[in-house]
Amino acid sequence: MTMYEIITKKKRGIELTTEEINFAVDGFTKGEIPDYKVSAFLMAIYFKGMTPDETAALTAAMVRSGDEVDLSGIPGIKVDKHSTGGVGDKTTLIVCPVVAALGYPVAKMSGRGLGHTGGTLDKLEAIPGFNINLSGDEFMEIVKSTGICISGQSKNLAPADKKLYALRDVTATVDSIPLIAASIMSKKIAAGADSILLDVKTGSGAFMKTLEESRVLAETMTDIGNNLGRKTEAVITDMSTPLGAMIGNTLEIKEVVAILKGFRSDLNKDLVEISLVLAGKMLELAGAGNETKCLKLANEVLESGKAFEVFKKMVKAQGGDVRVIENPDLFESSAFTETIYAPEAGYINEMDSEGIGMAAMLLKAGRETPEDKIVYSSGIELLAKTGQKVEESEPIAVLYSPAKWLIREAKEKFLDSVRIGQQAPIERILVY
């Protein structure tokens, strides 16, 4: 077979065989098939799509291109969680300690943030000394000793995905559902978990802006996981408004610590609710019981403080300074702050997640390119959320910045992202 034949077949909308997909992925990964042929292949997929069998075969080929993590040495059912990304989304740092506190091991590999979305690894690295660059043996040992470890991905985990994504990025084929799903699931499958829970975000701050797009992506990814022998489920959750009250790495760690210690408020109730739903679903996948029982277990362990103790153990095991977790006031603070006030009285009808995420990025809390340096103490603290009634000149947010000149543009972006009206908005649906 040749790439010309494979491209022609896909261009005509004919289903490819597993052998043909393997030929394309293996050849490209090894450098035997040039970029221009694979670019044509990706564009054919973009326009003609892929069947569930094709998408599963593509994912499996990407998995086989590199290392696969073997978690068989850890007893019990290992459940992984993946979020498609958002603003203020620190659910992993609440959910995983809850699940581990109930005796179900969590061996998780996470990623960094880019653009308006935050990354779990960036948040963890805001903890002084925290090490996300672990060897396979170190990773396994920490899971066995503490029940939980969150690390960076191995450099050789699904290398075909890295090469394909770089090509998609310059050929306008990033926004193809089969290619997105295969990219995400190849890394999840290679990470070795028995079951996978997918948190698919929907709304302005999500990659998928509409509920229908999010549903198609969720169905495509669950089909892949189940086709490849991993019990996979998805939950579609709201990302029209930032989750919780904090956006930015150190700020989000502080919020996580407060919630793990039992603090709940109107500003973080959305974060707590979604975290409990996700923890309950992970426990279900691990065999802890039915939905009602697992949600109750998750709530009890969060309220008891046991999840906080597990979080501290993980921080210590990965070299982090536990003192800042016990006393968040010890975190390095931002050099400059500015309070933002409501420009008029009324109800906050919208807090556009993407816009607010971009405002945080302008403060150096996120990165525009992979090479950008993050300032961990930067970010935004929300003092009001969507649906809340505010008075004119009432404080609605605080900006944290390493330099005064960064605040002006971030403030404009933030205010452009907030809509105030005279009618109360319809109550948000958090879990679809």
Active site residue ranges? 82, 161, 168, 183, 187
Rounded-to-integer distance, Cα 260 and Cα 389, Å: 28
Regarding beta strands 195-202 and 231-238, do their DSSP bridges make them parallel or antiparallel, or are they unpaired? parallel
- Pick from 281, 278, 282, 248: which is nearest to 363 by CA? 248
Q: What share of the chain is helix, strand, coil (3-state, %, to 5)?
A: 45, 15, 35
Residues belonging to the chain: 432
First to last CA, the chain: 45
Secondary structure element (H or E) that encloses residue 397, with its range: strand 395-401
The pair of three-digit structure tokens given for residue 217, joined into one six-digit string: 């992506």
The pair of three-digit structure tokens given for residue 256, joined into one six-digit string: 């996580």
Secondary structure element (H or E) that encloses residue 81, with its range: strand 79-83
- Pick from 283, 322, 367: which is nearest to 101 by CA? 283
Tell me the one-letter amino acid at 287: G
Rounded-to-integer distance, Cα 105 and Cα 150, Å: 11
- Pick from 198, 180, 131, 121: which is nearest to 376 by CA? 121
Q: How far is CA 361 from CA 112, 192, 399, 401, in A?
A: 14, 33, 11, 10
Rounded-to-integer distance, Cα 182 and Cα 225, Å: 10
Q: Please report, for the chain, how many H helices and E strands are present, in that order.
A: 17, 12
Q: How far is CA 94 from CA 264, 305, 310, 328, 365, in A?
A: 13, 11, 10, 16, 21
Rounded-to-integer distance, Cα 378 and Cα 113, Å: 14
Q: Provide DSSP, 17-80.
A: PHHHHHHHHHHHHTT-S-HHHHHHHHHHHHHH---HHHHHHHHHHHHHTSB----TTS-S--EE
* Cβ atoms 68, 187 nearer than 8 A: no
